[in-house]
Amino acid sequence: MADAPQVEMTRDAGFLHDALEGLKGRPRTLPGKYLWDETGSELFDRICHSAAYYPTRREMGLLPEVAAEVAALVGSGATVVEFGSGASRKIRTLLDALTAPAAYVAVDISGDYLADAIRRLAPDYPQVAMRAVCADYTAPFSLPLPETGGPVLAFFPGTSIGNFSPREASAFLARARAALGSCLFLVGADPTIEPEVLHAAYGGADGLMAAFHRNVLARMNRELGTDFDLDAFRHAVRICDDPFRVEAHLVARAPTTVRIAGHTLTFALGDSIRTDTSHKYTPEAFKALATESGWEPVQHWSGPAEGFSLHLLRC
């Protein structure tokens, strides 16, 4: 079996600063990027296989239908860059469809999980040079792109673009354009607005979504020396307007205090910490966002009843 490439670590080291700033603020927040340690990544992989979590199922139904058309537009010998690569499962559909792909650059914030994913992927694509980059792409970043001379296809799957606010999404798209240069960019976006579908998907009756979000408290206890009682917080989702989004919260079940880096934080009954957000974009809204961020929309594909969209952009 081929060895996985060395994981290049460029990850942000500001966890304590971000946690303090977010927890002392009002409303209380934690950046969603800290959900993604190895345990969080493994939990989310299980969530993606659950019946209620529709985005992965809809995307994996649509991606094989459009992969050949995307490959024809990209051309041969491409370098593929995936943001938020996770388990690197979706990328197989693109690598299988592309003509003689030259390289795959996987970018994710969870280094250990990233290394394992590439280790599993590499033997099936021995002709593809693989590079794993552990990086926080929510901040300015650079990419070590191989000099293959071929085209570049970037890929941002799932509903990850929705984890940014519209302003943050525009900034990410601009940063990606600067880092990637001339390329095509395939981005997933979710237009779903039915409350019952969203509550089932993000509320997670099977308990996985609650475990995924409470894991950030366990991570803080382990890495930052906090003393969160995980059972003192319940997971809840809220559907909000203007812009339309789903918010994930950890809500205090009773009055409690938490110590962090010499500070004592007090939570009253019902106080919450927002741990993540998923903004929903109609195809028209996403095209407008991409255009404002300096990208040219080339094509978009939607699943049944506009249930999920893939957008191909050009820099």
Cα 280-283-287 angle, rounded to 5 deg: 105
Average pLDDT over the chain, rounded to an integer: 92
Output phi, psi for 256, to 5 deg: -155, 160
Q: What pLDDT digit, counting tens, does each position of 52-99 carry?
A: 999 999 999 999 999 999 999 999 999 999 998 877 889 999 999 999
Q: What pLDDT digit, counting tens, does each position of 185-206 carry?
A: 999 999 999 999 999 999 988 9
54-192+280-314 in CATH: which number?
A: 3.40.50.150
Q: Note the pLDDT of residue 144.
A: 81
What distance in Å separates the CA atoms of residue 152 and residue 145, rounded to the nearest whole number? 9
Q: Note the pLDDT of residue 145.
A: 86
Give CA 98 to chain center in angstroms: 23
**pLDDT above 60: residue 258:** yes
User: 3-state DSSP call for residue 262?
Assistant: coil
pLDDT grade for 13, boundaries at 50, 70 and 90: low
**pLDDT above 50: residue 10:** no
Q: Note the pLDDT of residue 303.
A: 83
Q: Note the pLDDT of residue 63.
A: 96
- The DSSP line for 169-225 is HHHHHHHHHHHH-S-EEEEEE-----HHHHHHHHH-TTSHHHHHHHHHHHHHHHHH-
Q: Which of 223, 233, 307 has its CA nearest to residue 271?
A: 233
Q: Which of 93, 187, 79 has its CA nearest to residue 133?
A: 79
* Helices 38-48 & 208-224 angle (0-180, nearest 10): 170
Q: Note the pLDDT of residue 307.
A: 81
Residue with tokens 């590499």: 122
pLDDT grade for 7, boundaries at 50, 70 and 90: low
pLDDT grade for 12, boundaries at 50, 70 and 90: very low
- Provide the residue ranges of all domains of the chain, joining segments of one domain with +: 54-192+280-314, 197-279
Report the phi/psi class of residue 282: left, alpha or beta, with left for phi > 0 and alpha for psi in -120 to 50: beta
Q: What pLDDT digit, counting tens, does each position of 259-313 carry?
A: 999 999 999 999 999 999 999 999 999 999 999 999 999 999 998 766 899 999 9
Q: Note the pLDDT of residue 148.
A: 82
Q: What pLDDT digit, counting tens, does each position of 100-150 carry?
A: 999 999 998 888 888 889 999 999 999 999 999 988 888 887 888 888 889
What is the total residue count of the chain? 315
3-state helix, strand, coil in the chain (%, to 5): 40, 25, 35
The three-state (H, E, C) secondary structure of 60-109, written as one string:
HHHHHHHHHHHHHHHCCCCEEEEECCCCCCCHHHHHHHCCCCCEEEEEEC
